[in-house]
A and B are shown apart, each in its own frame.
Chain A
Amino acid sequence: MTNKVEDIEREILDLLAKQLPEGTQVSAEMRIARDLGLDSVGIMDFVMDIEDRFDISIPLDLIAELETVADLCTAARDLLKGAR
């Protein structure tokens, strides 16, 4: 598995596209709650998919701080590096 942020970002965007109605445009700059229309439960469930994809644990307090898809990608990369 790769730790490059672009690869992580691509994977996360793919997972996100699967979660959302077909044809929804997704990009790293989008804000998870406001632009993607996911409610708090939806966000937490999506994060569980990412945890399983990368075999990491994203703590609940960190999820609350994530604003954009890019934040999520950075968090995943840091956790993969064992920064937390």
Chain B
Amino acid sequence: MKAPLSWIKDYVDVPAHVTTDELTRRLTLTGLKLEAVESPGREITGPLVIGRVLTMEPEPQKNGKTINWCTVDVGDANGTGEPQGIVCGAHNFAPGDLVVTVLPGGVLPGGFAIGARKTYGHLSAGMICSARELGLGEDHDGIIVLPPDAGEPGQDVRPVLGLDEEVIELEVNPDRAYALSLRGIAREALVSVEGADRFRDPAVRDTPAPNADGHPVVVEDPAGCPVFVARKVTGFDPTAPTPDFMVRRITAAGMRPISLAVDVTNYVMLETGRPIHGYDADKVQGAIVVRRAREGERLTTLDGTTRELDPADLVVTDDSGIIGLGGVMGGETTEMSGSTTSILVEAAHWDAVSMFRTGRRHKITSEAGRRNERGVDPTICEAAADRVVELLVEHGGGQAHPGVTVVGSPPAVPAIRMAADLPQRVAGLPIDSRTVVASLQAVGCRVDADGADVEVVPPPWRPDLTDPQDLTEEVIRLVGYDAIPSVLPTPPSGRGLTRAQRLRRRIGRTLAGEGFVEVVSFPFVGASDLDDLGLTADDPRRDLLELSNPLNAEAGFLTSTLLPGLLRTAGKNVGHGNDDVAIFETATVTLPRHAGPAAILPVDRRPTDEEFAALDAALPAQPLHLAVVAAGDADSGGWWGESRPVTWADAVEAVRSVAAALGLEVTASAVELAPWHPGRCAELSVDGEVVGHAGEVHPTVCQAFGLPKRSVAAEVDLDLLMARAVDLRRAPSFSSYPVAKEDVALVVDTGVPAAEVEQALREGAGELLESIRLFDVYTGEQVGPGRKSLAYALRFRAPDRTLKEGEAAAARDSAVALAAERTGATQRA
């Protein structure tokens, strides 16, 4: 809300020593935060003075235009006292008129510097200004002609035009709708500025009594429209201009001047907070009826949009049908125009919830709607309508019609009972009951003390005050939030981070230690992202939760896998020249359960455990995933030797490192799954449960994401991994007896997984086996086609004795025997 300072001061006296800074600081500290202080003339510098046109000579030009060569008296403002010669293209003035003159050295809005320049054969030393050139709105017809009593030539013209006016912009929270008016802001200044005095309420005025001569109005839905006031002005001059002060104030408040009739309704809305609607009275046919819309009804609103109405919409009708969407926007058929001479003024109070719903339903945001849906003082309809009539008559030359229609009455405001010591308990600051009463009275409440309690009736402009806690805020903000002491509470002893929280940190640190850089991606994906991953049509990861209102239609779903985002990010890095990239992300993914609606539960009690459990069950599954992607070199080359490019094994190893950090061992087995290379994808399991996949990314997928071939990736379900994490690890003990080493080389078919051979060796070797390590894999002539040789180093040791001669060899032989039996392995000669 933008408010010119002079307008505020129309309604409240602020001590002269209170600067704008101090005033806005106080308003900020009591809840109306200063956004900005503006001045309409802030972009204008240099001499801008009143000039009196002495002579003007029209000079037709070759281009068909006629310019005026003028001499202008600018007093001593030009330093010489001589008349100033100025070329002017406008014609709406005459010698003797007072005009706005900018002299050489002045700068107008937009950085437009004024100098003396040769033009049309004259030396033009300055400019006679129009409203637009001064940033004061659109031109009507040419330059500004000041009233004859505006001042003397040479005087600074800024105060005359209000260019030095300070306009303060305040942030108004939804609970303070009353501050969307000068009335409300002035009242806040009164209660928050020390020494502010004499509040003059613009909504308090003598209004004519209701009578039967007004326009007939029937309200069929008093709950939706508790008060409807109608007044009429006749004989209005539609060509009458809006007075300058009104244009300036409306413009300063951020609205656009349109015509006198519209400007007056807006002016009174800004003044009182009460939205007003004006109809062309001659176009209204018969009695006005306020009701809810009926199924199928339509209305073309002022903005030219034809709207399908909802039975919950409040409408204003006449004999012709619907003429307005009550409180939200008027209809086209009764709109005031350039020929309107008779105006029907509506000041009605509308149900805020209904306003909110209708505004949202029809996507209409307007100054009137903003106020109506937040709550307006229902008691000022008559005063506001009367003020509109007064201004229309005063500036538009009309007559006030004697008829005054008032239907309904403002709803009563219920009293709130509050313990007088509640504010001090809430604030943690002593606040005596006298201060409580005085503060509440200051904001307009009626307060009766009743023992330890107070009975409070909030003022009609504060529909937000409904609970004792609301009153408490009023008291504390007037006492001052800065008076609240700083006291640390004493929590009970905490239990620290949860196990899952600690494990997640451990996982992040492990991956960082492995050289991966953590990234954070948005979870939005589209079907094309999954196509890029190469997912088949029936891949379960294609089951996505759809957003109703995505920012980007191409990414309208919540992702079920972290890979698209991570591959995209890796590709972007490569595109930026970060050729060797290794990144990871941990985040939840969304897996729809299609479990039906999450209920909207009551709020006046705790949900039952069953209700709460049902809420959770209705949400999609959101397991925590980890994904890694790497491309380029794992180890860089240099003076020490060649670089080592990343391989599928790096992806598997990343997961193994994470698992090891959790005390787990991962088993890998071959599987075919997008987006991986069909021959280079590992399904990763822990204790027989599949936790994720890793391997080389399919070359087509690499291409789709802008990654080099042989890039690698892994994705695992961290919830599954963390659930199995070893909790308390036992202290190990190692045998100090001598070790016996045996090497074996086994030849198997290439299709036999090394993991199976190793498993057989382990089982066959028995308890004496301490460790086994695959140290070489050989394929080639020596073992023949379709075969491979796996060379293992076995270490044997007993916990309690030195192994006897031949004991290790025997264990080795039984290991080889089992491997032979299970995998067809033969010992290499």
Instruction: Specify whether A and B are partners.
Output: no
Contact surface of A with B, Cβ cutoff 8 Å: none
Residues of B near any A CB (own CB < 8 A): none
